[in-house]
Structure formats: C-alpha cells, structure tokens
Amino acid sequence: MTHRHKVIFDTDPGVDDAMALCFMTRRPEFDLLGVTTVHGNLDIDTVTRNALWLAERLGLDVPVGKGAATPLVRPAGAGVPHVHGPGGLGDLTPPAQLARAVDPRPAWQVIVDLVRAHPHEVTLIAIGPLTNLALALRHDPAIAGLVAGVSLMGGAFGTHGHGGNVSPVAEANILSDPEAADLVMTAPWKVTVLGLDVTQQVVMDAAYLDRLAERGGPDGAFLRAVSRFYQGFHERSRGLAGIFAHDSLAVIQVLAPHLFTLRHGPVRVVCGGLADGQTIQKPVGMPGPPAPAWEDAPPCAVAVDVDVDGVLALYAETFIA
C-alpha cells in the first residue's frame, strides 16, 4: 500500500498551476482534499473560474474554495495576462457555463476545517501568493502545529545566479503579498521553499512538450495546448524555447524529496523599500553576530539544487505509459 499524501492545493491558475494540478491528480501517491484559490496571476474571479473548470476537466470531487481577492495590507495587483494569457490558461477558455460551483466557505476556512479534520496528515502545497495561508494562521494559529508540512513555490535566493523575476531580487508570488509571505515563513510549521533557484533550472523545452502531446493521451494534449502561449512568453522575454516548470516542483518535492538539495535556516521576507519581496535565509551555522530578525524564526528548508533529469523524467512518465 503506497503512502498517500493528503494535500490542500492553494493556487492562482495560471498555466504552470494547471500543469502542476494535472500532474498531482494523476499520481496515486496523492489524496487531494481541497483546492483553494488566491489572487495572483489574474483577479480572484478569473482564477477561481479556472480552478472550477480544471476540477471539472480532471474529474475532481473536492471542494474548491474561493480565496483572498487582495493581499493582506496592499491593494490588488494587476495580474499578468501577458504571461499566462488573457484568461490565465494560455489560449484555452473555460465554457460560459460550469457544472461546478464554489464552496460556500472562504478559502482560509476550507484550509482550517480540512487541517482540523485530518490533524498532522495534511500537506499544504501553495503555488501562488500566500495570502490564504496567512489568513488561516491569523484565524486559527494552532493549525501551524497540525499540518504535516508546507511546500511552496516562491522566492529567490540567488543560487545559480537566479535573482528575482519581477525585480532584481523578488519573485512574483512573494512580491504579490510580502507581508503574508513573511508571516507564513516565520510560523512554527515545517516549510519547504521551492524558489527560482531550482524552478528556473528545470526547463520543459518544446520537444519535451511535443512528446507529452504525442504520447500522453488527452492529458498530454491538454498540457501542450495550455502551455503554448506561456512558451511564447518565455521565448519573447528570455529567448527560451520552452517553459520553466515552476509550480510543478512544489508538488514533486512532496512526492520525491530526494531530487532536491535543501539548505536549512530561518527565512524572512523584505516588506517595503528597494528590496520589497526579497526572500533572505540565514543558513544554520552561518558565522557572525546574532541577527535578531532571524533568531526567533523557525528554520525553513530552501531548495538550492535539483536533479533536473530526475524531475523531467518523473513528470513525463506520469502521462506517457
């Protein structure tokens, strides 16, 4: 009997979000309990509609909770339609009428209820801004001691030369709500951070995506179709003939932690000023005087290296028999 990871999936779909969710739902090792949506790639109504459509498409019988429309203390951002397409899923558009309806509870309540229903068993996989997780902690701080762990895609720590992707130092999910991110990083739960340091090492090139389409059945065809617009953005902005795997790595890390090299130590997030949204880790054993802003925070695990071939093989073999 395979150990199954009970998961709440917090997302702002998003092309790479859709690809991560598709991967997770096709792996028998995961037991998805709920999906929660958050502002980020586009406005909350659009990303929630996308999540409902994805749940319908993938045959998911779980609650979809609509989450925060704005960051904790800042106005809502404009979203990034030039990255993910005008509707957030590349060239694909959900139908006007959806069979699925949103759960009546706000996303933070869905998170709290599911964690309390399955104490010490639930992993939160968060691949958007961290507003919902911060709200869940604010409403019920005790859940920090009741989750199995948190695996999040966000941040940039400068490894392999990977700085920020929306400023020289800030990654998009974190800069979308730095105050929430700092609250989540410093809460007393087990956090693993998959930042640009590893997500920009893993490139799904055009040939790889084409192979998914040719040999991956209906899922493979969907993955190729949803990724085309996103690939165009990567080609225009970086001259990259493919896409970064970003969000899927937060899922893969839970399933196959051996594919990642982790560095431990507390993480803080810069809130305001020139380095707004920067994630900074004080590694365990770092010499020098005490750094008060870090000393009281629990250690996080930050991915600083990744087995690229291992990740790409695991993702592909999930769809290609």
Q: What is the DSSP string of 68-107?
A: -SS-SSS------HHHH-TTSSTT----SS-S---BSS-H
Instruction: Write out the catalytic residue numbers.
Output: 246
| pLDDT on residue 3 | 81
Q: 153-163 burial by CB neighbour count: b if 16+ within 10 A, else e?
A: bbbbbbbeebb
User: Which pLDDT tens digit goes with each residue over 101-158?
Assistant: 999 999 999 999 999 999 999 999 999 999 999 999 999 999 999 999 999 999 999 9
User: pTM to 2 decimals?
Assistant: 0.97
pLDDT at position 2 is: 66
Asked if residue 160 has pLDDT above 70, the reply is yes
Residues 36-40, mean pLDDT to the nearest whole number: 98
Rounded to an integer, the average pLDDT of 288-317 is 96
Place of tokens 């502002």: 39
Looking at residues 232-247, what average pLDDT do you find?
Answer: 94
Dist. CA 228–CA 224, nearest whole Å: 6
Looking at domain 9-320, what is its CATH homologous superfamily? Ribonucleoside hydrolase-like (3.90.245.10)
Residue whose C-alpha is closest to residue 127's, from 45, 199, 69, 66:
199
Q: What are phi and psi of 248, to 5 degrees?
A: -60, -25
CA distances from 262 to 85, 125, 137, 246 (A): 33, 17, 25, 17
- The one-letter amino acid at 310: G
Residue located via tokens 């893993």: 202
Task: State pLDDT tens for residues 51-98.
Answer: 999 999 999 999 999 999 999 999 999 899 999 999 999 999 999 889
pLDDT averaged over every residue in the chain: 96
* Token pair recorded at residue 238: 């970086």
The residues spanned by each domain of the chain are 9-320
Length of the chain: 321
Element (H, E) at 210: helix 206-215
**And the tokens for 301?**
């695990």
Question: Measured between alpha carbons, how far is 92 from 275 in angstroms, rounded to an integer?
Answer: 35
Query: Where residue 193 falls among pLDDT bands split at 50, 70, 90?
Result: very high
Compute CA distances 261 → 21, 123, 173, 306, 312, whole Å. Answer: 23, 20, 22, 6, 16
Residue 321: band (very low, low, confident or very high) from pLDDT cuts 50, 70, 90: confident
Least confident residue range of 41-45, 109-113, 215-219, 285-289:
285-289
Q: Is the pLDDT of residue 15 over 90?
A: yes
Amino acid of residue 286: M
**What residues form DSSP beta bridges with 150?**
124, 191
Q: How far is CA 220 from the centre of its chain?
A: 21
Among residues of the chain, what percentage have pLDDT more than 90?
96
Is the pLDDT at 1 greater than 70? The verdict is: no
User: How confident is the model at residue 194, as a pLDDT?
Assistant: 98
* C-alpha closest to that of 54 among 8, 5, 86, 99: 99
Query: 3-state class of 262 per DSSP?
Result: strand
